[in-house]
Amino acid sequence: MEVDDGDEVAVESTDMTTTSRHHFGDSSDTSDAFFITIIESMKEEYGLFVWPCSVVLAEYVWQQKSRFLGATVVELGAGTSLPGLVAAKLGSDVTLTDDSERLEVLANMKRVSRLNNLKCKVMGLTWGVWDAPSFDLHPKIILGADVFYEARGIYFLSLKNGKPCCLCFQKCSGHHLIEFLMMKWGLKCVKLLDGFSFMPFCKASSLSGNIQLAEIVYNGEQVS
Ligand SMILES: C[S@@+](CC[C@H](N)C(=O)[O-])C[C@H]1O[C@@H](n2cnc3c(N)ncnc32)[C@H](O)[C@@H]1O
């Protein structure tokens, strides 16, 4: 489901809505430093805020900027969309996606894209629901922050284009373990980094948890 950019989005102004500003690059070097403003909502029915994995993935995108110039990028389960917005700022053609049922999340994506003067496409893409528009996506790079508890979307998009997915996730155990999900969906990890190994100190100091960054590709064999 593509969300029409012409739709007017009601901006709900309540004390549950706030904005946060995220800086990239050295602000003393004005040539390529920038910031992204995110609208967050702490309403009880749905949490719409920047998760720590998103901060780490956005920094990784910034540090890998040469890969993103002119690239077609899809962000899965984007929520407040910080990594995708950074990719758009670096010159990518970005489609931000989230659960088709979460209209408030999709509407917020349009608002943050406009707020940052970016032209991201916004699309409902529910993992495991393969409607026609989702098959028309041909991303060069897929981004996903804190979405690896459910790998169906990632499996489909990797299979389609064989290109890397950059994912950030909290390391956890049991059936949410990355090794389990990758084996299940025929994925192969080609890069695995401790999220804190490349974060600037000023950003890392406000984060907690065991955050890892993986680049994965489709491996060609799906285990039942
Ligand atoms: C933990 S949040 C992470 C949000 C954002 N990536 C971040 O890191 O700030 C998980 C996101 O996945 C989305 N999501 C959950 N289930 C989904 C599904 N079945 N299909 C598509 N998106 C889904 C949620 O709406 C939410 O935005």
The most confident of the ranges 8-17, 34-43, 108-117 is 108-117
Whether residue 223 is contained in a domain is answered as no
Higher per-residue confidence, 135 vs 214: 214
Is residue 80 included in any domain, yes or no?
Answer: yes
CA dihedral 170, 20, 35, 215 (to 10 degrees): 10
84: containing domain: 2-218
Give the total number of structural domains in the chain: 1
CB count in 10 Å sphere of residue 11:
11
To test the pocket of ligand 1, the residue of 96, 99, 149, 207 to mutate (highest count of ligand atoms within 8 Å of its CB) is: 99
In a domain, 61, yes or no: yes
Pairing relationship of beta strands 34-41 and 165-170 according to DSSP bridges: unpaired
3-state secondary structure of 196: helix
- Asked if residue 146 is part of any domain, the answer here is yes
31 CA to centre of ligand 1 in angstroms: 33
- CB of 51 sitting under 6 A from ligand 1: yes
- Residues 159-199 have pLDDT tens digits of 555 566 677 676 655 555 677 777 777 778 888 899 999 99
| 67 CA from centroid of ligand 1 (Å) | 24
Question: From the CB of 50, is ligand 1 less than 6 Å away?
Answer: yes
pLDDT digits (tens, 9 = 90+) for 38-55: 999 887 566 688 999 999
Alpha helices (runs of H) in the chain, residue ranges in sequence order: 52-63, 82-89, 103-115, 132-135, 152-161, 178-184, 201-204
Question: What local confidence, expressed as pLDDT, does residue 139 receive?
Answer: 86
In a domain, 224, yes or no: no
List the beta bridge partners of residue 93.
72
Q: What's 198's domain CATH number? A: 3.40.50.150
Q: Is the CB of 98 under 6 A from ligand 1?
A: yes
The closest-lying atom of ligand 1 relative to the alpha carbon of residue 57 is: 8
The answer to whether position 140 is within a domain reads yes
Alpha-carbon torsion (170, 224, 75, 80), positive or negative: negative
Ligand 1 in reach of 36 Cβ (< 6 A): no
Residue 11 covered by a domain: yes
191 in any annotated domain: yes
